[in-house]
Amino acid sequence: MYEGFLSLKYTYILDGSYSIELLIEVLNDIEVRSKWEEQILEAELIHRYSDNFYIYRMLFHMPIIENRDFVEKMIIFKMDDTYYMYSSSIPDTYYPKRSKCTRGYNIFSVTRIRRVKDKIIVNSASQRDIQASLGPFIGLGVMGRKTANSLTVFCDALIKRLNALVNSRNP
């Protein structure tokens, strides 16, 4: 197996007082997301085809290794009462990488968001080719700790952003 492939699977549970639509809005507002998610150094909406389909670029700060530049398409859809977000990289020929960073590739990422009783359940799975040899870091447990910490920081920031939007819309 190629060592640069990073596979992640996680679930987080949010207070059900938020609407799923607000959560999706917060996760997909590309320019604003770079202001509240610590690992995103830059973000740019390249082209919006519709509310549910767009292409974007994000430059991520990566622990231990050089920053990574991702250009991806996002597709959002709803089936019954469940929302899905699917993203994957687009070919480099459409949008060249930035200098002083490495292009990373999102092989796939799928997120399922649904309401269960008084909670919002978010399940996500992804595989990314971050173009790095991770062997020494995985052996030391560094990437696992960094990823777990990043997810905790992300969830805390997401909840802060949701609360700020709810408070600003309901003075």
Sign (positive or negative) of CA dihedral 160, 161, 164, 167:
negative
Distance (Å, whole) CA 12 – CA 4: 25
pLDDT in tens, 4-57: 567 788 888 888 888 899 889 888 888 788 888 888 888 999 999 998 999 999
Instruction: Give CA–CA dist 155/63, Å, rounded.
Output: 18
Q: What pLDDT, in 10s, does the model give residues 61-96?
A: 776 677 888 999 999 999 999 999 999 999 988 888
Q: Are 71 and 95 in contact (CB under 8 A)?
A: yes
Specify the number of domains making up the chain.
1
Per the structure, the complete domain to which residue 127 belongs is given by: 5-169
The burial class, CB within 10 Å (0-12 / 13-18 / 19+), for 117 is exposed
Predicted confidence band at 134 (pLDDT cuts at 50, 70, 90)?
A: low
Whichever domain contains 132, its CATH number is 3.30.530.20
Mean pLDDT across 137-162: 58
